Amino acid sequence: MRKTRPSKEDKIRLTVDLSKPFYNRLEQLERFVEAGSKASLIRQALQLYEYVAKRAAEGCDFRIVDKNGREEKVVLLDLS
């Protein structure tokens, strides 16, 4: 199924001032994850952040498991 593109009326332009180091990090991450554009990268990041925030609010915690099976708790948000 083909996605329909939002019309111009459905979009809102957002202007953001970024420091040069932050912009460089954004560019590096865009290339690393092959996002295709900074807008796409930001949309993907927001979807992930929203999911994590909702799950954290439900009491879930997050862990990283390395290739050797070692676990480390990850604290991403302080929702207290």
Tell me the per-residue pLDDT of 7-39, one tens digit each, with 9 for 90 and over: 777 889 989 999 999 999 999 999 999 999 999
The stretch 73-80 carries a mean pLDDT of 72
Angle at 24 between CA 18 and CA 28, to 5 degrees: 130
Strands 62-65 and 71-74: antiparallel
Give the residue from 33, 47, 56, 43 showing the smallest Cα distance to 6. 43
Contact 73, 63 (CB under 8 A): yes
Q: Whole-structure pTM over 0.85, yes or no?
A: no
- The amino acid that residue 57 corresponds to is A
